[in-house]
Structure 1
Amino acid sequence: MPSFTWSELPEEPLFPEHSRAVGSVFRGEKIAVARVRYPAGSEVTPHASAREQIHSILKGRARYRVAGEARVVGAGDAVLIRPNVEHAVQILEDLEVIGFQDVGPLATAPPGGAPGPAFFRWDEMTSDFITPRYSSGRGPTVTGERIEVAFMFYPAGTEGKPHAHPNEQIQVALKGKSRGVIGGVEHIVEAGGGILFPPNVEHGGRMLEDYTVINCKDIVPGWSVYHARWEK
């Protein structure tokens, strides 16, 4: 099931040992994405996870604390929670988040806990063309130790040329519509849904409308969101 819509996925309690969050999850072999809702006045209790997470805030406000640094975040912000780093959240308003997490084997993953910034705002970051020989997609990127997430825009009528890479990739559509082809099979993706591109499977697409997505890949050395080896 490479493509999905949130409305067709079950919504259930998530992380009940730490929060009152509910949401839907789409899982690949290396990365997973969740659309998560937290009620105002609730909290995520302090804890650390062996998994890396990147949260993109869609609606509401919350006070995140990550490794001792606290900040109030809202729509348009992103938070990087590195592996094995303690974090906690106070939900100030009903909160909706798109959250990505690595789910591959921990035995081969970097140990995590490296220092680095945790808080980002998409519209304050450099917006670059991403793999310009491949597509007209552009946007800023948050790079962790195991996953990286880009907030990307593709103009209507442009295309992504067929290619393959060893990274697993998930795109969540926020606005617009595209036609993707994965291994020769066509998929229509639009706001309210998303698509998974499996590792080493040829894929490409055409933008049917101006298209805004949040894009996640697991990190494979030499095959980043930027400057992928197949461009050279």
Structure 2
Amino acid sequence: MTGAHINPAVTFAMAIKGDLPWKKVVPYWISQVVGAFLGAAIVYVDYYKAINAWNAAHHVASRGASGGLTTFSIFATFPAQYFHGNMFGPFLDQVIGTFFLVLFVLAIGDSRNTGVKSNMAPFMVGMAVAAIGMSFGVDAGYAINPARDFGPRLFTWLAGWGSNAFPGPGGYWWVPIIGPLVGGGIAPFIYKFFIGKTLDQLQKS
């Protein structure tokens, strides 16, 4: 069983927590990126005429041009313009957003906690993602998932979006990969220290 992991940061966190063998981490990551790449390819095949029509209407000669960033945003994320090439803000944004995502995933899936009834755990995780998007979606588009960003980014680079994909505005491409892994890697320790210990004490009392 894979646990339905679609996020490398969650996979990384589960390995740190001890719920997933480390030998499975890289195969999971590869599968996640391939899945996201294929998802982007499906979207492109379905919408390429609309994308080309928008580019033509707005006189965008090349997808790699600055105007092509608008259609690129269908597939992957990029930082808000007010960062002016400084990637610390978007990086911190991804660390915080993914930290909360993994924290929620750990709490929802913890059998010591009050369980989510009637197989509602996936719905609750989806609600957590939506809440994070509303709270942390402005600075960098809330990738909070390295595969969700890197797979489509790789596809768009191959499909002609050029520098909009790699290196991205201000060299952004690494931010939605490293940031979520850092945030996801911190979350298990915080959960164990502040929540896990309390749950253990409640079980013993």
TM bracket, shorter-chain basis = under 0.3
Alignment TM-score, normalising by the size of structure 1: 0.24
Higher relative contact order (CA 8 A, sep 6+): 2
Q: Which protein is richer in strand relative to its size?
A: 1
Alignment TM-score, normalising by the size of structure 2: 0.26
Larger radius of gyration: 2
